Every structure is written in structure tokens, then in C-alpha cells.
Structure 1
């Protein structure tokens, strides 16, 4: 029953976010065209049941950057506009489309890359792939990123074990008020 409630909330909030955020989305696309020439970034990620899906974000790194986890990327790859998008978390807005489609939830474990074998193994052991990945979650608001796969998987499992509608709203609130820094980038 709770999964149905969460899914309903995800649908309502993602539709509202896409409609209300449409002017912001369009402005970011226009600036993004001037910044990188290709403002939308698509990347294969691991979803619920380890099913791959295409994650959509605003591009924050140079267009020819190799596919890699953010914590492995060099800061020099991030564009000036990309820094702004990351700092404000606006690069995540297009993921509302992933939420609407059912690939993701607003709250859940961040989806990893298919090449992050250590994290996939740690999450498998703790049954983290039993839920939809999310835009935000307990790990994100506590500054735990994919550079510490065991800790991340443990934090994801802890969130899943105690998940409730109240926690869903609480983690969204913390994210919207600026808690959590996102994935670290090498200097």
C-alpha cells in the first residue's frame, strides 16, 4: 500500500514540478546551448531490479567528457554554467521526467552507473535494488556519495528499512532547503 501512495505522490509532484518548472527548464536549455551546445545529458544507470534505464539531466560537463562517476571526474571538466547548475541542484530537474515515467522516485537510492561494480555488489547484498532509485535520499542529505560504496549501500539499506511517507517528505524538504552537497568532484 505504501508503495502505491509513494508512486502517486511521485506522479503528482513530478507533473507539478515539470509544469511549474517549465520556464526555468526552458531558460536552462537556452543557456545550456550556449554553454555546451548540447544542454541535455543522458546516461545509462542501474534501476529497480538492476534494470538499466536512461537518466536525463542537464549537462554540467564538457560535451566530450567520458562516461564516469562524478567523484572520478576532474573539476576542470565542469563548465562555468555547469558549476551553477550543480551548486543549485538545477541539473537534476529533468529527472522529474524519469520519475513520471516510473524509472525513478523522488526519494530513493541514487542510481549508479553500470560500471560501478563495487557499489552494485554492495547494494545487491543489502537488497537495495528492490526499490526505485531516487533523485534524493538519506545518503545525499548526509553528503555520502558513490566514492564510498559500502557506506552508501549501508545508508541506502537503512533508508529503505525505515522508509515512510513522513520520511519521504522530510528528505524532500531537506533537499529543497539545501542539505547535502551532491557527488564530490576532484579539484
Structure 2
């Protein structure tokens, strides 16, 4: 299995990569046995990487730590272009380190058992969500006449009065909902 981050190969023995797509949902059953859920979107895909690095290859361990600790402008975690068969199958192109890096010594071999997580950055669902038009705001109104008005019912003379921006918006809404006939 090959794992490249910005063209730099992550080396290790017995490398295993587990891909994960989390789908958020909320239970809508309340106190009943209903199975209805509310879909809340897709969370970024993650790749859990586990591998073994022999003690004699400490340079490989330092490489992983250097990649994990790298930052881009503004102190943000560095984003990497990834080359890996599992990542390609899941449609993951760019990742960054997430949830830390752990290494423990093996009980029988002179090696570290290393685990880390790579989280997808700029995922397709995220891009679609950013392109999607925002939901329009619908205004609510009640039947009847507007309260207040211009100078206690002065009618046309009240329109000559200068209105603030908010009052102009309210006047347009009032005129739209109750046009003068």
C-alpha cells in the first residue's frame, strides 16, 4: 500500500488504511419507537492510518511527525494532496492531520505501532453547500391595517416626511401587502 502526502512517501510495514464517511442524523421519534431520523449532512471523510515502524528506521517516524506538525500561513494545519488507492476510491484528494498521532512500542518486536488520522479538506459536499443559494427569508404578516402610519392619518402629506432606511423598508412592505386603491 502506498501513501504519498504532497509527493512524500509515508513509509512503514503492515500499513492499513481505514476510510470512514460519517452521516449525521437526529432521532425524531421522541419517546416512541418510531424509526424516523432527520438527515443533517455528511461530515468530512477520514482516513485512519496504522502502520509499524522498526526502531532502526527512526527517520520514518520523524518524517511522520514533521508532516503532522507542519503549518501553513496563519498557523493553520498544512493541507496535503494525497495519493492512495483507498483515498481515491472514497474521492478524497486533499487531507490534513486530525485527532493527533500516536506511537507505542510493540510488545515483541523492536518497533513502534503508529496510528494517525487524516481528515478530508474541501470535500465535495462542502463545495456543493457553498455553491448552493441561501434560503430566502419569507416575511410574515397579519390581516388588518398598519398601526401608526404617517402623522396620525395625515395620508398623502405624511409621505413627504423623511423616513429612515428601516422605515422605508417597512413602508414598502406595507404598500405591497395593502396597496392603496
TM-score (norm 2): 0.23
Structure having the higher helix fraction is 1
TM-score (norm 1): 0.23
Report 1 or 2 for greater relative contact order, CA contacts < 8 Å, sequence distance ≥ 6.
1
